[in-house]
Amino acid sequence: MQDTTQERLLIADTVRKIASQFTDQYWMEHDEEKRYPKDFFDAFVEAGLLGITIPEEYGGMGLGISEAGIALREIAQSGAAMNGCSTVHFPLFVSGVIVKYATEQLKREVLPKIVSGEIDLCFAVTEADAGTNTTRIKTFAKREGDKFIINGRKLWISKAQVANTMVLLARTKRYEDVAKPTDGMTLILLDLNSPGITITPINKMGRNAVDSNEVFFDDVMVAADRIIGEEGQGFRHILDSLNPERVLLSYEAIGIGRVALQKAIKYANERIVFDRPIGKNQGIQFPLAEAHMRLNAAELMADKAASLCDQGIKCGEEANTAKYLAGEAAFFAADRAVQTLGGMGYAKEYHVERYFREARLFRLAPISEEMILNYISEHVLKLPRSY
Ligand SMILES: Cc1cc2nc3c(=O)[nH]c(=O)nc-3n(C[C@H](O)[C@H](O)[C@H](O)COP(=O)(O)OP(=O)(O)OC[C@H]3O[C@@H](n4cnc5c(N)ncnc54)[C@H](O)[C@@H]3O)c2cc1C
What's the 3-state SS for 357-385?
HHHHHCCCCCCCHHHHHHHHHHHHCCCCC
140-144 and 276-277 beta bridge pairing: unpaired
The number of beta carbons lying within 10 Å of the beta carbon of residue 22 is 20
Domains of the chain: 6-115 (1.10.540.10), 121-233 (2.40.110.10), 236-380 (1.20.140.10)
Q: State the closest ligand 1 atom to the C-alpha of 133, by its place in the atom list counted from 1.
A: 29
> Are the C-beta atoms of 184 and 150 separated by less than 8 Å?
no
Q: Tens-digit pLDDT profile for the chain (387 aa)?
A: 557 788 889 999 999 999 999 999 999 999 999 999 999 999 999 999 999 999 999 999 999 999 999 999 999 999 999 999 999 999 898 999 999 999 999 999 999 999 999 999 999 999 999 999 999 999 999 999 999 999 999 999 999 999 999 999 999 999 999 999 999 999 999 999 999 999 999 999 999 999 999 999 999 999 999 999 999 999 999 988 899 999 999 999 999 999 999 999 999 999 999 999 999 999 999 999 999 999 999 999 999 999 999 999 999 999 999 999 999 999 999 999 999 999 999 999 999 999 999 999 999 999 999 999 999 999 999 999 999
* 360 Cα: distance to centroid of ligand 1 (angstroms): 13
Element (H, E) at 96: helix 81-101
* 368 Cα: distance to centroid of ligand 1 (angstroms): 6
* 367 Cα: distance to centroid of ligand 1 (angstroms): 6
365 phi, psi to nearest 5 deg? -135, 155
> What single DSSP character describes residue 191?
E
**In whole angstroms, what is the distance from residue 357 CA to residue 346 CA?**
11
Is the bond leading into 201 cis (omega within 30 degrees of zero)? Answer: no
* 363 Cα: distance to centroid of ligand 1 (angstroms): 10
**In whole angstroms, what is the distance from residue 168 CA to residue 155 CA?**
12
Nearest CA to ligand 1 atom 27: 131
* 321 Cα: distance to centroid of ligand 1 (angstroms): 18
Instruction: Give the pTM.
Output: 0.97
Cα of first residue to Cα of last residue in the chain, in angstroms, is 35
Pocket of ligand 1 (CB under 6 A): 122-126, 131-132, 156-158, 204, 212, 361, 364-368, 370-371, 374, 387
Task: Report helix, strand or coil for 125.
Answer: coil
